[in-house]
Amino acid sequence: MINSVSKNQLNKIILRIFLYLILSVFVIYYLLPLFVMITTSLKSLEEIRTGSLIALPRNITFEAWGTAWSTACTGIRCEGLKPFFWNSIFIAIPAVIISTLIGAINGYVIAQWRFKGANIIFALMLFGCFIPFQVILLPMARVLGLIDLAGSISGLIFVHVIYGIGFTTLFFRNYYVSIPVELVKAAKIDGATFLRIFWSIFLPLSLPITVVTVIWQFTQIWNDFLFGVSFSEAGTQPITVALNNIVNSTTGVKEYNVDMAAAIIAAMPTLLVYIFAGKYFIRGLTAGSVKG
Residues between 243 and 272 that touch another protein (CB under 8 A) = 243-244, 247-248, 256, 259-260, 262-263, 266-267, 270-271
Q: Per rule CB under 8 A, is residue 178 in the interface with another protein?
A: no
Stretch of residues binding another protein (CB under 8 A), selected from 2-10, 62-70, 79-87, 158-166: 158-166
Give the whole-angstrom CA distance, residue 270 versus residue 218. 8
Cβ proximity to another protein, 73 vs 102, nearer residue: 102
204 Cα distance to chain centroid = 25
- Nearest distance from C-beta of residue 163 to another protein, angstroms: 8
Q: Per rule CB under 8 A, is residue 147 in the interface with another protein?
A: no
- Tell me which residue of 144, 170, 162, 148 sits closest to 98, measured CA to CA: 162
Torsion angle in degrees (nearest 10) through CA of 107, 139, 94, 173: 10
| Tally of CA atoms within 13 A in the half-sphere of 270 that contains its CB | 19
Stretch of residues binding another protein (CB under 8 A), selected from 60-68, 69-77, 90-98, 277-285: 277-285
Q: Per rule CB under 8 A, is residue 84 in the interface with another protein?
A: no
Cβ proximity to another protein, 27 vs 60, nearer residue: 27
Number of shown-chain residues binding another protein (CB under 8 A): 107
Interface with another protein (CB under 8 A), residue from 193, 208, 234, 235: 193
Q: Is 56 left (phi over 0), alpha (psi -120 to 50) or beta?
A: beta
Q: What share of the chain is helix, strand, coil (3-state, %, to 5)?
A: 75, 0, 20
Q: Per rule CB under 8 A, is residue 19 in the interface with another protein?
A: yes
Instruction: Give me the helix-helix angle, 239-247 and 256-290, nearest 10°.
Output: 140
User: What type of residue is 187?
Assistant: A
Interface with another protein (CB under 8 A), residue from 3, 5, 6, 132: 132
276-286 burial by CB neighbour count: b if 16+ within 10 A, else e? ebeebbebbee
- Nearest distance from C-beta of residue 62 to another protein, angstroms: 19
Please report, for residues 64, 77, 285, the alpha-carbon distance to residue 74 in angstroms, rounded to integers and kept in the order given: 15, 6, 32
Q: Per rule CB under 8 A, is residue 222 in the interface with another protein?
A: yes
Q: Per rule CB under 8 A, is residue 233 in the interface with another protein?
A: no
Site for another protein in 43-82 (CB under 8 A): 48-49, 52-54
- Nearest distance from C-beta of residue 67 to another protein, angstroms: 15
Interface with another protein (CB under 8 A), residue from 68, 110, 156, 157: 110
